[in-house]
Amino acid sequence: MKNVVGPVLLLAALALSQDWIVEQVDPTAAAASPVELVKAADGRLWACYRTAAGFMRAACLGDSGWSLTDICWGYVPTNVWRPFFAASPHGELCLSCVTGDSGWLFRLVGDSWQGEPYSFAARAMCGTVAYDTAGRLHTAFVDTAGDFCAGHETDSGWTAGFVARLSIEGPDHGDAACFTVAPDCRPWYFAYVWWMKPPQLWGEEASLMHFSGDSWTTVWN
């Protein structure tokens, strides 16, 4: 995840040899909007971000330059409600974001984006999305009880399971879950929780885990 580095500017930098070429992609991007970058199976570069007008926009770099498409309106750009973007090795694209007060998945079908409600009751409203090398879509989220969970899509719909529960010591807390799949198809999961018990007690915990085949193993905590 990258951040827009100037007011209403989205900058894309392409590394060519030893030099960086900096290009302004969209002058209407919202200041400090989180930006997700992915490279599709056909080699095209995609970026998703919020515009100053409140739309979630996808920018695609093709042979004729950048093309911009508004996907939905009402995205809330906060640390917990940032977009997540993934590209399948078979050409599919999936965006997870918040519109209004609901989490949604948007998939690129042909030349149009089609939305569906996010399948899980999640504390952060939407979660990381990632494809494995077989093209199966995965997601990570924190449920309403504070448990870190992982789900994946099957032929009959979505399924999900418990991954971990980190320390939650106070009434106010923030959670974050990030998920990716390595080239060997092993899922990796990063879980983070911040908690506060007024007036002065607070704490943080983070854990990195990978799936060993039948259970999740903690690499560090």
Q: Is residue 183 part of a domain?
A: yes
Q: Is residue 34 part of a domain?
A: no
Range 113-134 average pLDDT = 86
Which residues are CB-contacts of 76 (< 8 A; sequence separation ≥ 6)? 98
Characterize the bridge pairing of strands 137-142 and 148-154: antiparallel
> Which of the two residues, 74 and 5, has the higher pLDDT score?
74
Domain hosting 180: range is 119-221
pLDDT per residue as tens digits for the range 5-47: 433 334 444 545 568 888 889 999 988 888 899 999 999 999 9
Q: What is the pLDDT of residue 213?
A: 80
For residue 80 the two structure tokens come to: 């917990």
Range 65-92 average pLDDT = 81
For residue 122 the two structure tokens come to: 């999640």
Which residues are CB-contacts of 139 (< 8 A; sequence separation ≥ 6)? 96, 119, 120, 127, 128, 129, 130, 150, 151, 152, 158, 160, 179
Q: Is residue 142 part of a domain?
A: yes
d(CA 110, CA 117): 20
Q: Is residue 12 part of a domain?
A: no
Start-to-end Cα distance in the chain: 22
Place of tokens 């640390």: 79
d(CA 208, CA 194): 15
Q: Is residue 186 part of a domain?
A: yes
Range 62-88 average pLDDT = 80
Q: Is residue 202 part of a domain?
A: yes
CB of 208 closer than 8 Å to CB of 217:
no
Angle at 204 between CA 159 and CA 163, to 5 degrees: 20
pLDDT per residue as tens digits for the range 138-185: 999 888 888 899 999 999 999 999 999 887 666 666 778 888 888 887
Range 124-130 average pLDDT = 81
Q: Is residue 124 part of a domain?
A: yes
Confidence of residue 81 (pLDDT cuts 50, 70, 90): low
Q: Look at the chain and report how many structural domains it folds into.
A: 1
Range 42-53 average pLDDT = 91
Of 9-18, 98-107, 166-175, 208-217, minimum mean pLDDT range: 9-18
Q: What is the pLDDT of residue 198?
A: 81
Q: Is residue 71 part of a domain?
A: no
For residue 10 the two structure tokens come to: 């989205």
- What proportion of the chain, given as a percentage, has pLDDT over 70? 85
